[in-house]
Structure 1
Amino acid sequence: MKYFFSLLILLSCVAKPKAQTLIDPTIKTPHAVMDDFMDQRFGMFIHWGPVTLRGTEIGWSRGHEVPTAEYDSLYKEFDPILFNADAWVKTAKDAGMKYVVITAKHHDGFCLWPTKSSDYNIMNTPFKKDVVGELAAACKKYNLKFCIYFTVLDWHDPHYPNHNGASPPDSLVNMNEFVKTMKSELKELVTTYHPYMLWFDGNWEKPWKNEYAVDVYTYLKQLDPNVIINNRLGANDEHVTLNSRSIGDYATPEQVIGALDMNTPWETCMTICTQWAWKPNDKMKSLKECLQTLVKTAGGNGNLLFNVGPMPDGRMEQRQVTRLKEMGDWLKIYGESIYGTKGGPFAPNNDFATTRKGNKLYVHVFEKKSDLLTLPLATKVKVKQAYLLNGGEIKYSQDTTGNITLQLPDQLPNNNDTVIALELTTSAEAIPVVSHLN
């Protein structure tokens, strides 16, 4: 008899399915969808919620700058009566942005849509409006792609083991229930608002495992095979890189410009000021910093997700709106050198960056160190003509080794970024990456 029970135990162990830690490659986001995403180049990130009433960082100030009980009660007085989804999305449109990402749920667990999974949501504030739904409708109106930020961790959910310093009752901690709630909330978001992309975050804490991430990714692909998913879903996935084990579609370097990468998609997320959520008198980046961040990102073959933090009353700060409009004005003139381009063949530096599309190589000049700018290409190409984008001709010369030397104008016409277009007789996109400059 003991052998019979031993056999049953052995069979039960064999029959138990192994937890999946890798994505089934057949369900990954199609290459055509990812190519479309990378063509967008410029998006708006929005971090917003009841914490703006204190002007501290969203999520992270809970239990620190703002006591936990106070933080978790802020929603009771959150009434942003000047919120206007059209105004927000029009700001993104005027900035030349192509997609918008809203923090539907950050680490504090507060939901900006009327979820059925939790009472801790926008409908239980004095405001009582579906922020996510209104933004989705506004994006459709202005022809921008609507995207959603969603946290992996949730310091407010009693089923989640880590409460950012607080100790929940052990009897309530249950990761299976937590994942069940997470999937329920994601189903609401995907089936109700049909986001183009889901931007996950908060994947580094020990309770989160890769098997949960694969389960969620697979579940989402059943809801929408084309929804794009970033690389912050897998447990402890390195944000700045993407590899065969990544549970997500693209890399997400944060507050730094990603390195030149012609093989895998990536997107830098960065703040227009210093804090993600609104902060009074927060230091804002200059127009030069903003534009060169965008150009260097595109020059590295990445997208820029640029963050704004609206105020407690629902408005975006006018100074931020103005700065973004200045970026949009530049893009109206020079946008062809950003949208739908490839980065390279040079890694961006403080003097210049390059982008390319078809037979055009765009040279973005930031600083004039000399009258001549030499581009040491790794292969010989022939230039048909060189000119300032939307301006006059540029004198140039070529040698037999593949170097192209440009004669820069006495005064750069744009102090933030002067764009020179080189029309080639062959594809600019086929030029090999130049590993270093002389």
Structure 2
Amino acid sequence: MRKLLMAAGLALIGMNAVAQHEEHPYIPEPDKAVQQKLDEWQDWKFGMIIHWGPYSQWGVVESWSLCPEDEGFTQRKPYGIPYYDYLKKYEALGKSFNPVKFNPEHWAKAAADAGMKYMVFTTKHHDGYCMFDTKQTDYRITAPDVAFSKNPRANVAKEIFEAFRKEGVHTGAYFSKPDWNTEYYWWSYFPPKDRNPSYDISKYPERWNKFKQFTYNQIEELMTGYGKLEILWLDGGWVRPEKYQTAESRTWGTTKAQDQDIDMPKIAAMARSHQPGLIVVDRSVHSQYENYRTPEQQIPDKPLSYPWETCMTMGGSWSYVPNDQYKSVNTLIHNLVDIVAKGGNYLLNVGPGPDGELHDAAYTTMKGIGEWMHVNGDAIYATRAVAPYKDGKVCFTTKKDGSVYAIYLLDDQEKLPATITFKGLTPAKKARVEILGGAKSLVWKTVNGSTVINIPSAMQGKGFKHAVAIKISAVEKV
């Protein structure tokens, strides 16, 4: 069940990044300002995504229990409850939502201290509940009948973006293209059958045009009223033009795939007129507006030739679950190193609770990551992939100045070994080789084509944890 929940949270199930690259070539964005921003984004490496909404009150998977598909991740509780009875109770959650401990400065400080350079917040998930002060619908946290609406910080998206920017963290807006609350997508005249529109778009084009305008208006609100935003992260990849349908996307849902064209050229042009250089991530729709790709809950087996980001949960669920089990700091750092060595970014999810606070485990986990990043961040930030990328327990990254980092992954409780050996890269003559946090030049040699670095016994006992980064000032050219 938990694996199903994790796979479903961002609605991109079974995505294989390598296969996608082979079947669907990446289309570069011609806008020079976007190209520049993408290059900067690739320097950031580590970010935070936050799933939060009224559904956190029940501790259930975000939005998906509303979807009338018979999948593990769409099941309603208690099991057997009639659909419309459940829908009524779910929608009422928006009115009772009252996160009285909401303190985005606390989140932002923890993220910055963890070394996260950017963040993405769920302004609206598939259920249509808006965590910003939209004028397009009353299904929003600032509506007069919502418990939290009288709070001076009720426009939570704005508060969150401002708090993170004050900590020097770049900001991005998650926005769900499908909206299961509006009459323009799930028209109540027809009962919804699956995640797709409840009506035939070709038969009722005027209704679809109203949905397109509704979507455009909401995105323009975000682009104009919430300060500088650098990423527009669009989810719900089944909303796409017919020409971009794939064999996989046609299997999403139970009804025939429709031409769900929301006019991305018009949306992107508008958004960038307000936010020049904006990165647009139209997830899984392999067009000009998928500026980077987002393998979900997985790390590709090999480097990819285009900009990419693994999005993954810190715990077991995208949204808040009581007593969620968090991945160890060791696992998360190993993931980060592996991803960065393959040229990607790591976007790590945390789901706040119904009171507006994060799990204690989220804070302790971020603190542990931050302690490692404080010492080793130079081997992560502003680096690029370099062949052979990884050899055994050693991952490689490189800086623009030609220096290389060999990052040795330590198992839990493993002490730094007496020697670290790898193939594929050889330090140049007179190159300085040192461990970050060690401040001592290391002795190395070549043995049977492998580089062998000696680690002094005093350094072995220094208590290094998770991974050690060895900086090599220059390497021999192959």
**TM tier, shorter chain?**
0.7 to 0.9
- Corresponding residue SS for 2:387: coil
Q: What is the distance in 1 between the residues matched to 2:27 and 2:394?
A: 39
| Aligned mate of 2:424, from 346, 358, 377 | 377
Q: Which amino acid aligns with 1:51?
A: Y
- The match for 2:406 is 363
Q: What is the distance in 1 between the residues matched to 2:259 and 2:130?
A: 20
Is residue 216 of structure 2 the alignment partner of residue 183 of structure 1? yes
| Aligned mate of 2:308, from 266, 286, 299 | 266
Q: Give 1:293 deviation, angstroms.
A: 1.1
- Over the aligned positions, Cα root-mean-square deviation in angstroms equals 2.9
Change (3 A) 1:138 1:213: same
1:21-170 alignment to 2 at 5 Å? Answer: 26-27=30-31, 30-62=34-66, 64-66=75-77, 67-124=86-143, 125-128=146-149, 129-161=154-186, 163=192, 165=194
Do the aligned partners of 1:363 and 1:420 also contact (CA within 8 Å) in 2?
yes
Aligned residues: 397
- Cα deviation per residue 1:143-176 (whole Å; 9 max; x = unaligned)? 1111110011111121115846499578798221
Structure 1, gaps ≥5 residues long: 1-21, 238-244, 433-438
Do the aligned partners of 1:27 and 1:225 also contact (CA within 8 Å) in 2?
no
Do the aligned partners of 1:50 and 1:75 also contact (CA within 8 Å) in 2?
yes
Do the aligned partners of 2:404 and 2:475 also contact (CA within 8 Å) in 1?
no
- Cα deviation per residue 1:234-274 (whole Å; 9 max; x = unaligned)? 3xx4xxxxxxx443211111111235436421111010001
Do the aligned partners of 1:108 and 1:156 also contact (CA within 8 Å) in 2?
yes
Is residue 245 of structure 2 the alignment partner of residue 212 of structure 1? no
- The match for 1:199 is 233
Is residue 298 of structure 2 the alignment partner of residue 256 of structure 1? yes
Do the aligned partners of 2:391 and 2:422 also contact (CA within 8 Å) in 1?
no
Q: What is the distance in 2 between the residues matched to 1:91 and 1:208?
A: 42
Q: What is the distance in 2 between the residues matched to 1:57 and 1:316?
A: 16
Higher relative contact order (CA 8 A, sep 6+): 2
Q: What is the distance in 1 between the residues matched to 2:348 and 2:28?
A: 31
Identity %: 30
- Corresponding residue SS for 1:200: strand
Change (3 A) 1:89 1:178: same
- The match for 2:453 is 406
Q: Give 1:360 deviation, angstroms.
A: 1.9
Q: What is the distance in 1 between the residues matched to 2:331 and 2:44?
A: 20
Q: Which amino acid aligns with 2:404?
A: L
- Cα deviation per residue 1:72-92 (whole Å; 9 max; x = unaligned)? 111111000000121111111
Q: Give 1:44 deviation, angstroms.
A: 0.8
Q: Give 1:404 deviation, angstroms.
A: 2.4
Q: Give 1:133 deviation, angstroms.
A: 0.8
- Corresponding residue SS for 2:89: helix
Q: Give 1:187 deviation, angstroms.
A: 0.2
Do the aligned partners of 1:161 and 1:173 also contact (CA within 8 Å) in 2?
no
Q: Which amino acid aligns with 1:190?
A: M
Do the aligned partners of 1:23 and 1:214 also contact (CA within 8 Å) in 2?
no
Q: Which amino acid aligns with 2:135?
A: K
| Aligned mate of 1:226, from 271, 277, 282 | 277
Do the aligned partners of 2:173 and 2:233 also contact (CA within 8 Å) in 1?
yes
Mean Cα deviation higher: 42-51 or 348-357: 348-357
TM (norm. structure 2) is 0.76
Q: What is the distance in 1 between the residues matched to 2:391 and 2:359?
A: 31
Change (3 A) 1:118 1:26: same
- The match for 1:418 is 468
Give the greater-gyration-radius structure (CA): 1
Mean Cα deviation higher: 40-49 or 385-394: 385-394
Q: Give 1:408 deviation, angstroms.
A: 4.6
Mean Cα deviation higher: 221-230 or 123-132: 221-230
- Corresponding residue SS for 2:214: helix
Mean Cα deviation higher: 49-58 or 317-326: 317-326
TM (norm. structure 1) is 0.82
- The match for 2:443 is 395
